[in-house]
Chains A and B, each alone.
Chain A
Amino acid sequence: MKCRRCRKLFIPCLEGALPEELSRRVEEHLSICPACAGEFEDIKEVSAALAGADCPAMDPLPDIRDRVMARIYQQPKMRNWRKALPAYSAAAAAMLLFAVILTTVNFREPQQLCQAPQKRAALEKASEQPLYPAKKPAPAGAKQADAEAPSLPAELNLKSLPALPKSIKGAVASLPAQKPSEPELASAKIAEQAEAARLQQYTQVPPGTGQQMPAAAPAIARDAYAECGNSSIAKEPAAPSFRGASKASAAKMKRGSDLPASRAELLNLINTCRDAGRKEDEYAAAERLTSLFTDEAAYWFARGQAAEKIDKKQDAVDSYRRAVELKLLQPDLDAAKARLIELGRQ
């Protein structure tokens, strides 16, 4: 056995932890190696001194238990984070979902609105004709020209709005009930202006007078005629995308507890219900429209027509009379008077 190996075994040899064979080999080495033997004696001496040293441990405090337990009870109750982990995870997931919803609502809608001009361009391209030509300044004798042909109102041409109202109306209808942003407000205002313009337009066109719609005024003017009751024109098939969107919107609104408060939506609903033959719904929408806009003669006229369809003769008479009082424009004025006379006979 080498000295290095032997010295490593001094302590276990003193402790009696070595096997007998190994202990014997250590003793053999110590007998032939004075250096290792001397070191072994030193270790043995110190070890004995340490083992026999009078170094008592410090006496524990008599109330050490009470102190420890008092500190344990003073500790705030330890939370088991494993038990709380599902709750924390659920809260985090809910917050994440909420953030995603907020992000989607706040940013998708403006994007949809911004896409409206692109959709309009796509529709124009699909029909291979512009919905309306570029606006030229209205001449001084515009009124005379209007009397000769059912040209569109000046404000309608100025804004080039025909394709905007439907698409924007769809976007507005899909908006949740929250405070609208500035672009949304502007879009809604534009839609209302467009509806007002269309209403004013159809009141200037004599129904059933043989005048044909201009070829360059397809959907928007046709909807306007439909709103005033000119069924011969209104029943012409419209663009599928427009019609489909209107029906979906009307059904969505009908499922709700209240009718829409927007003029554009109500007009759209009346138009849709009229096409679908839903007389009750048409009358409800017209009634709602007249309750909101009490001074609009055309709306009263539309209500009278709707009331006649469901045999509410007295309401029809009142509505026609109100329309006449509000100076309904020709040719609807004559039509309203004729209906009053007819209903009076009945």
Chain B
Amino acid sequence: MNKTALNTVKESEPCSDDLQIVRQVLTGDTPLFGHLVDRHKKRVYGIVSGMIDSQDEVDDLVQDIFIAAFKAIGRFRGDSKFSTWLHAIAVNTTLRHIQKMKRRRVFSLDNGGYQFLTGRDAWAHESAERGREIRIAVKSLPDKQRMVVVLHYFEGLSCPEIAETLGCSVGTVWSRLHYACKVLKVRLESGA
């Protein structure tokens, strides 16, 4: 693997478990990457499933995200937490996927969200029952605002963490949350 990137990982930084695993993966211990998958799969699933309803799409996209992370792990400099770096990949990959699907016109706005394109929609049906209104309202938001809402309210990331993940300022995150809440207020009232 890329030893240059390995050397760029700061030695003085307090070693987290993720960082140790990343170093070992960089030295060629590829199977250890499975531990990273285990550790972060729930959060990555949360990010992706907050934006996409189709279970099959989510499964494929999560795999794509981890593959992309493995390919790019040589460029991980260790400046931030591995989770933040991985979340950024997840966010960008998901937004790219959504844009691609929009171009293919597979979206349906009749219920303010996506069509369930494939099977395995039991989860979607169940979740729609529980938080149907909120979920539909969130799905009607613009992608960037929706991603911020998903990361903050559904995945529990703080605003500075979201800012680091998205590569923007904290003020931008506050602003997106503010406008998202204003829109959601209107949608929820109209839905009620």
A, B co-complexed:
yes
Q: Is the pair B178, A8 in contact by a Cβ cutoff of 8 Å?
A: yes
Interface string of B130-147 (1 = CB under 8 A from A): 110011001000000000
Q: Given A46-B185, A58-B45, A68-B66, do A10 and B34 touch, yes or no (CB 8 Å)?
A: no
Q: Is the pair A78, B71 in contact by a Cβ cutoff of 8 Å?
A: yes
Residue A136 at the chain B interface, CB threshold 8 Å:
no
Q: Is the pair A65, B159 in contact by a Cβ cutoff of 8 Å?
A: no
Q: Given A8-B178, A59-B45, A69-B34, do A54 and B71 touch, yes or no (CB 8 Å)?
A: no
Residue B108 at the chain A interface, CB threshold 8 Å:
no
Q: Is the pair A42, B67 in contact by a Cβ cutoff of 8 Å?
A: no
Q: Is the pair B153, A42 in contact by a Cβ cutoff of 8 Å?
A: no
Please give, as numbers and ranges, the residues of chain B lying within 8 Å of A343 by CB-CB distance: none
Q: Is the pair A58, B185 in contact by a Cβ cutoff of 8 Å?
A: no
Residue B116 at the chain A interface, CB threshold 8 Å:
no
Interface size on B, residues (CB 8 A): 47
Closest to B178 in A: A11
Q: Given A8-B175, A12-B159, A49-B188, do A72 and B70 touch, yes or no (CB 8 Å)?
A: yes
Chain A interface size, as a band, is 35 or more
Kindly identify which residue among B45, B158, B159 contacts A57, using a CB–CB cutoff of 8 Å. B45
Please give, as numbers and ranges, the residues of chain A lying within 8 Å of B119 by CB-CB distance: none
Interface residues of B in 97-140 (CB under 8 A from A): 123, 127, 130-131, 134-135, 138
Q: Is the pair B182, A42 in contact by a Cβ cutoff of 8 Å?
A: yes
Q: Is the pair A58, B123 in contact by a Cβ cutoff of 8 Å?
A: yes
A47 to B55, CA, bound (A): 27
Interface string of B45-66 (1 = CB under 8 A from A): 1101110000100110011001
Q: Is the pair A46, B34 in contact by a Cβ cutoff of 8 Å?
A: no
Binds A, one of B9-17, B35-43, B78-86: B35-43
Q: Is the pair A71, B182 in contact by a Cβ cutoff of 8 Å?
A: no
Kindly identify which residue among B46, B63, B149, B159 contacts A67, using a CB–CB cutoff of 8 Å. B63
Residue A126 at the chain B interface, CB threshold 8 Å:
no
CB distance from B13 to the nearest CB of A (A): 25
Please give, as numbers and ranges, the residues of chain B lying within 8 Å of A39 by CB-CB distance: 182
Residue A215 at the chain B interface, CB threshold 8 Å:
no
Q: Is the pair B58, A49 in contact by a Cβ cutoff of 8 Å?
A: no
9 cross-chain pairs, A with B, having the tightest CB-CB distances, nearest first: A57-B46, A58-B49, A50-B153, A55-B131, A46-B181, A11-B174, A54-B130, A53-B134, A68-B66
Q: B residues bordering A, Cβ < 8 Å?
A: 2, 4, 30-31, 33-34, 37-38, 41-42, 45-46, 48-50, 55, 58-59, 62-63, 66-67, 70-71, 123, 127, 130-131, 134-135, 138, 149, 153-155, 158-159, 171, 174-175, 177-178, 181-182, 184-185, 188
16 A-B interface contacts by CB (under 8 A)? A8-B171, A8-B174, A12-B159, A42-B182, A42-B185, A50-B154, A53-B153, A53-B154, A55-B154, A57-B46, A57-B49, A58-B46, A69-B34, A69-B37, A73-B30, A82-B2
Q: A residues bordering B, Cβ < 8 Å?
A: 7-12, 15, 17, 39, 42-43, 45-47, 49-51, 53-61, 64-65, 67-69, 71-73, 75, 78, 80, 82
